[in-house]
Amino acid sequence: MSVPRPKPRPGVLDIAPYVPGKSSAPGVAKVFKLSSNETPLGPSPKAIAAYQAAGAHLEDYPDGAASELREAIGRAFGLDPERIVCGAGSDDLLHLLAQAYLSDGDEAIHTVHGFLIYPIATLGTGARPIAVPETDYTANVDAILAAVTNKTKIVFLANPNNPTGTALSFDEVRRLHRGLPPHVLLVLDAAYAEYVRRNDYEAGIELVATSENVVMCRTFSKIHGLAALRLGWMFAPTHIVDAVNRIRGPFNINGPAIAAGIAAMEDVEHQERSREHNTRWLAWLTEEIGKLGLKVTPSVANFVLIHFPETKGRTAKDADAFLTARGLILRYVAAYKLPNALRLSVGTEEANRLVVAALKDFLAKTPA
């Protein structure tokens, strides 16, 4: 007879635990981690200095409201700091939004190759994640709208999406918003917004500013290179800010992260350098990998999705093993329902050139 014991709420044990990108390759001296969309340029030196200075005061609680950081973000984007909430990474904010707006039996929509935290955060609340089809690895507004029921409470949209790298135009996002009932919360997750060089794109600021049911989430983990510090922010209508502030940890972001975040936000030149590096090498990788005969989904972010054939010896899994043996760590994305693809983050020039050379050798090893 089994002994009674505490049981997690329904949904929790249905969660497939999130598996982060690998960071080591056994037996390889020099490893290039290209599996987590981190920036190859690292953070701003000013952010590192601010972090180190804050390290001298670890005995102090941080400012729980992160006021100076919210003001710095407000100045950078022309936003009212009262409408900003900071989180321990944007993951924290995605979980808080799910917790605040979903209950047992509700539904939250995400696209089939959408960011994995959406179903995880949804299931954690007892609600049901609804995955809708994409078209050419891109969110399909009609499919999302067709999935809306009277149980729908949230639509999560990563724009650009991870791991596909595709984005919806602002017109399409507006059309999605227009089609949603006003009680449905549209979460625009713009973790990669800074990299997008398309003039039909808008991260969501305008839509948040002019509606009552849209939130935009951003992160310091990507272009700002502060992934280790766990720092994100969201811009939202005041009633949503109020709800999230009631349930977030009162000190959910730490002092050194606040200090580094302010310095990073203010170092516009560093951001520009990172963007330029990405623009150049994203195009180069897309072209060079395409020339090898592999399909690459056109990306607007800081990574590319590479599709492999199902031929024995040439699969994504085979490529992953081959590249890992050379110290090149990509992301195997079967958990995103993409078992025949690998996601490659844009790296340093050295890493990018090594990946293309290794892929060439990989394909030469097993002729089609």
**Interface residue list for ligand PLP (CB under 6 A):** 37, 89-91, 115, 158, 162, 189, 191, 219, 221, 227, 232
Nearer to ligand PLP, 86 or 184 (CB): 86
Nearest approach, Cβ of 30 to ligand PLP (angstroms)?
A: 24
Neighbours of 189 (CB within 10 A): 31
Q: Which residue has the tokens 């994305």?
A: 333
In this complex, which beta carbon is closest to ligand PLP, that of residue 277 or of residue 331? 331
- Tokens 């977030």 locate to 248
Phi, psi of 80 (to 5 degrees): -75, 120
Give the amino acid at 313. G
Query: Closer CB to ligand PLP, residue 158 or residue 316?
Result: 158
Which of 275, 314 has the CB closer to ligand PLP?
A: 275
Longest dimension (CA), the chain: 65
Least CB distance to ligand PLP at residue 157 (A):
10
- Cβ distance to ligand PLP smaller for residue 187 or 359: 187
Nearer to ligand PLP, 306 or 363 (CB): 306
3-state secondary structure of 295: strand
Which of residues 217 and 354 has its CB atom nearest to ligand PLP in the complex? Answer: 217
One-character DSSP codes across 35-50:
SS---TT-S-HHHHHH
Smallest separation, CB 33 to ligand PLP (Å): 13
Cβ(84)–Cβ(69) below 8 Å: no
DSSP 315-348: SHHHHHHHHHHTTEE-EE-GGGT-TTEEEEE---
Six token digits for residue 263: 């310095």
CB of 116 to ligand PLP, least distance (A): 9
Q: Which residues contact 191 (CB under 8 A, 6 or more apart)?
A: 90, 115, 158, 162, 217, 218, 219, 221, 222, 232
- Pairing of β 185-189 and β 152-158: parallel
Of 114 and 327, nearer to ligand PLP (C-beta) is 114
**Strand ranges for the chain from DSSP E:** 32-33, 84-87, 107-111, 128-132, 134-135, 138-139, 152-158, 185-189, 214-219, 232-235, 295-297, 303-307, 328-329, 331-332, 341-345
Structure tokens at 276: 């330029």
- For the CA atoms of 161, 164, 169, 170, the dihedral, rounded to the nearest 10 degrees, stands at 0
- Position with the least CB separation from ligand PLP: 89
C-beta closer to ligand PLP: residue 208 or 359: 208
CB 361, min distance to ligand PLP, A: 29
CB of 221 vs ligand PLP, minimal distance in Å: 3
159 or 213, CB closer to ligand PLP? 159
Q: Smallest distance, Å, CB 257 to ligand PLP?
A: 11
Contact between residue 118 and residue 161 where contact means Cβ atoms under 8 Å apart: no
CB of residue 77 to ligand PLP, shortest distance in Å: 17
To the nearest whole angstrom, how small is the minimum distance from the Cβ of residue 96 to ligand PLP?
12
